[in-house]
Amino acid sequence: MSDSSKTKSEGEWRAVLSPEQFKILREKGTELRGTGEYEHHKDEGIYTCAGCGTPLYKSTTKFDSGCGWPAFFDAIPGAVTRLPDNSRGYMRTEIVCTACGGHLGHVFTGEGFKVPTDERHCVNSVSIKFADEKINDA
């Protein structure tokens, strides 16, 4: 991953992303609830950023939240950045890929899920890709 990922022009991003990926990763869009390919995905491996390939989530942190999007209770340390988001008139916490700034979704806390962090990273399937590679727990 190079520093150029955050400095790519709109045209460079359009050249490497599908129109749907561009809408979500670069324009902060949202895929329709229940339509993402990874919502019910259960294989072991790593979920990477669809924009730059950076590892973001381990499959061991994925859980079924029933929200209509893939849900994770924690990210790989340093891979995801949290930003304040008041775009809908109320405060939420947006999550983006630290390496390229691509929009992933939002993180919610205190919902009562029986997960170690009491967090739900609600991630667009379009924002991630799955690799069946193992990653060491460091």
* 122 catalytic residue (yes or no): yes
Question: What pTM was estimated for this model as a whole?
Answer: 0.90
pLDDT digits (tens, 9 = 90+) for 28-41: 999 999 999 999 99
The tens digit of pLDDT for each residue in 57-86 reads: 999 999 999 999 999 999 999 999 999 999
Bridge partners (DSSP) of residue 92 are 85
The region of weakest confidence among 6-10, 24-28, 63-67, 92-96 is 6-10
**Burial of 71: CB neighbours in 10 Å, binned 0-12, 13-18, 19+:** buried
Q: What percent of the chain has pLDDT over 70?
A: 93
Report the chain's mean pLDDT, rounded to a whole number: 92
For the chain, domains (ranges, CATH) are: 3-131 (2.170.150.20)
